[in-house]
Chain A
Amino acid sequence: MSLEPLQPEPKPDVTLTLAGAALGLRRVSVLMPGVVVFAVAFGAAASAKGLSLFEAVLMSAVVYAGVAQLVAMELWRPEWSWGAIAGLALVTATVNARMVLQGASLQPWFRHYPGAVNGLHLFLFTDANWMIGTRYHAEGGRDLGVLVGAGVALWLVWVAATVPGYLLGALVADPRTSGIDLVMPIFFAAMIVPLWRGRRAAVPWVVAGLVALVTARLIEGYAFIIVGSLSGALVGALRDDTA
């Protein structure tokens, strides 16, 4: 990023190729076992909470956000009022608010593409896509096919793996004893290693972590992700080194 001349703006490399999609497929394949375990856990939780198989698969297909789906199972109920539906949508938005920042962090790449293309591929945007995209973009990659390939493959596996989880239901142990609640944190923590650019660049991360810890004590729910991340970005923006 630091090597890009600021002006004149170079002609952006706007590509979306099948070769990129194949690369995305390879990059996402290492994340698949974790994703399958997560989807199976969701399917099992959904059957335990009394969703029909159709509803469980529909949720995986159109919501397509693992943590939010598991949180929704905690709040699921047999009867729905409009207020309860609005409440669930609000909780979903707070759990997924990290996507707002994840999308913003990759916008310097996406901005060169037409709005309709972004509107479509972002439907498939997940934590895994963000990790793959962040790493690929940092390596100098600019082919959006990578995200599309990874996103389509992950979506298919996520939706498909919901079914055996639903049908096996009770066979899947409590997520805590099997460690499924740690799949997402482990992938996130592992991401620190390829992101590492030396101690100086890690100062905003430390601030983000401390602010998040304090916020988690003060505010219930998942607000700590947003407050902490924005604090880190702010520290990064205000420091006077040459970017």
Chain B
Amino acid sequence: MTLPDPGAWGAVLAILAMALATYLCRISGVALMAFIPLTPRVRRGLAALPGSIVVATVLPLVERLGWSAALALLAAVGSMVIRRSELLALVVGMAVVSGARALGL
């Protein structure tokens, strides 16, 4: 037995499939951790996780996106050190990347 072709509903079904996949990602980390006791070791691992996610996400993206991206991120972090405002960091970072790309970096 084969399913009927998605046909005219293909795009909507594709969107719903994406939604289901995303929702499963959203709940599965929380659901899986319910089976793991929060020992001091697990707590230390979880404490190291947020910074690890940030660095593991950003570094390879910088490598892919090039020098303009590296400069922009450094400027954004510097802005956060001086004045702790995410909005200012975004403005500074976007300004640096636009400038750097305009200069052909």
Q: How far is the CB of A81 from chain B (nearest CB, A)?
A: 7
- Residue-wise, chain B 56-93 has the 8 Å CB interface mask toward A (1 for contact) of 11111111110001001100110111001111011001
Which of the segments A14-22, A156-164, A232-240 contacts the partner chain?
A: A232-240
| B15: contacting residue among A6, A63, A107, CB under 8 A | A63
Main secondary structure of the interface of B (DSSP, over half): helix
CB pair A81 B5 closer than 8 Å: yes
Q: Identify which of residues 86-140 in chain A touch chain B, using a CB-to-CB cut-off of 8 Å.
A: 86, 88-90, 92-93, 96-108, 110-111, 118-119, 122-123, 125, 130, 134
Q: How far is the CB of A23 from chain B (nearest CB, A)?
A: 15
Question: Size of chain B's interface in residues, with CB distance under 8 A?
Answer: 73
List, in ascending order, chain B residues with CB within 8 A of A47's CB: none
| A189: contacting residue among B42, B58, B64, CB under 8 A | B58
Main secondary structure of the interface of A (DSSP, over half): helix
CB pair A243 B44 closer than 8 Å: yes
Q: Nearest 7 pairs between A and B by C-beta? A: A236-B48, A232-B52, A80-B10, A228-B56, A103-B29, A237-B45, A208-B52
14 new A-B contacts, CB < 8 A, other than A179-B94, A186-B94, A187-B89, are A63-B18, A80-B11, A81-B10, A99-B25, A122-B30, A186-B89, A204-B52, A212-B55, A212-B57, A212-B60, A228-B59, A228-B60, A230-B52, A234-B45
